[in-house]
Structure 1
Amino acid sequence: MSDVFWLSERQFSRLVPLLPTDTRGKPRVDDLRVISGIVHVLKSGGRWVDAPVIYGPRKTLYNRFVRWAAKGVWLDIFHALAAAGGPPAEVLIDSSAVKAHRCASGGKGGNTRRPSVARVAGEPPKSMR
């Protein structure tokens, strides 16, 4: 498995203070492994069920991602990491630029006048059966 993603110890040490500590019940699965798995799934664009087994239970990856999203943990991590590098000159989170032809706005072209539906409703159909 050469295409797996792992956070380095240095990267993970920056995240540790931002992770929730209010867990109850069973001990949490290793955060480094789970966060690396979540990043792998998000980077690859794959499904949670297709995550490599090396990251642990796939259901755990999904549950941790969803629960932390609801708590705002990912947003806090993003803001902390974005602020750590100083003010950026330009920030692009996720964007795409698509050029469209000038006629791509839909509808038929031309400048001919078309009667409204109300006027045409009383006329016989123009198509043949």
Structure 2
Amino acid sequence: MSDLYWLTEEQMDRLRPFFPKSHGKPRVDDRRVLSGIIFVNRNGLRWRDAPREYGPHKTLYNRWKRWSAMGIFIRMMEGLTTGKAEPQTIMIDATSLKAHRTASSLRLKKGARPSDWTHQRRDEYEAVCPHRPERTSARLLHDSRPDQ
């Protein structure tokens, strides 16, 4: 697959200080795992659907879960943005749009019913009021009588 996402060595050199230290058993390559995590999040995939080139999906998920809990991703973002960005790129859009004057008339007047209410009665799936006795129609009562 040529459409896989891979971090460059330059990018990894900038990110390495933020990774936690390895304890004991050598772990799967951080570049491979982080590239897989980015690929899954960018494409909206389930972890199970991650391409095999990134390693086992369980490893991707476990590393993402552990690093998220430890605040690794937050530290990465904060560390990469400190002093590097120009003020013009921080604020993407500061414009505001006025709503049309009829947008404020969507509020209901006192006592008015919205015109889009299609169900005036209680639906079958709604709960019955606990302090009211439930009524059965005369037809149902007639049909349930034993034949005479």
Q: Which has the bigger relative contact order, CA under 8 A and spacing at least 6?
A: 1
Superposed CA offset, 1:28-72 (max 9, x none): 100010000001011111111111000001100010011011111
- TM-score when scaled to structure 1? 0.69
Structure 2 gaps, min length 5: 93-98, 113-136, 138-148
- TM-score when scaled to structure 2? 0.61
Flag the 1:84–1:65 CA change in 2: closer, same or farther, 3 A. farther
The 3-state SS of whatever aligns with 2:12 is: helix
What is the aligned length? 105
Identity %: 44
Flag the 1:85–1:26 CA change in 2: closer, same or farther, 3 A. same
Runs of 4+ in 1 over 4 A off after TM superposition: none
Residue identity in the other structure for 1:81: L
Structure 1 gaps, min length 5: 93-98, 115-128
Cα distance in structure 1, aligned partners of 2:7 and 2:35: 6
Matches of residues 42-81 of structure 1 in structure 2 within 5 Å?
A: 42-81=41-80
Cα distance in structure 1, aligned partners of 2:65 and 2:110: 53
1:91 deviates by 4.3
Q: CA RMSD in A?
A: 2.7
**Aligned counterpart, 1:111:** 109
